[in-house]
Amino acid sequence: MSVGILGELDRFKLPALAQAGVDVKSPQVVLVSRSGFTPGLVEAARKDQRTKLVDVASLASG
C-alpha cells in the first residue's frame, strides 16, 4: 500500500463521512495490508500520530 492512500482519504473519504454527519475533526486512520506498506507510507505514518499501520504479523499476534 502506498502513501497516496493518505491523500485519497483526506480528499474523498473524510469529506464524504463529514457530509453523512460523522464527526471527522480528529480521525484515527488505521490501514491494514497483507502485502505490506511502501517505505513512503511507513515514513508518513511515523510522522502522523493519527495514522496506524497494521500488517498481517500484527494481526496474527493479536
Distances (CA, A) of 24 to 7, 16, 18, 21, 42: 15, 10, 6, 9, 23
Number of H helices, E strands in the chain: 4, 2
Task: Look at the chain and report how many structural domains it folds into.
Answer: 1
Gap between the Cα atoms of 41 and 26, Å rounded: 20
pLDDT score, position 50: 93
Range of the domain at 23: 4-61
pLDDT values of the chain reduced to their tens digit, one per residue, 62 residues: 999 999 999 999 999 999 999 999 999 999 999 889 999 999 999 999 999 999 888 888 86
Report the Cα–Cα distance between both ends of the chain, in Å, rounded: 21
Q: What is the pTM of this model?
A: 0.81
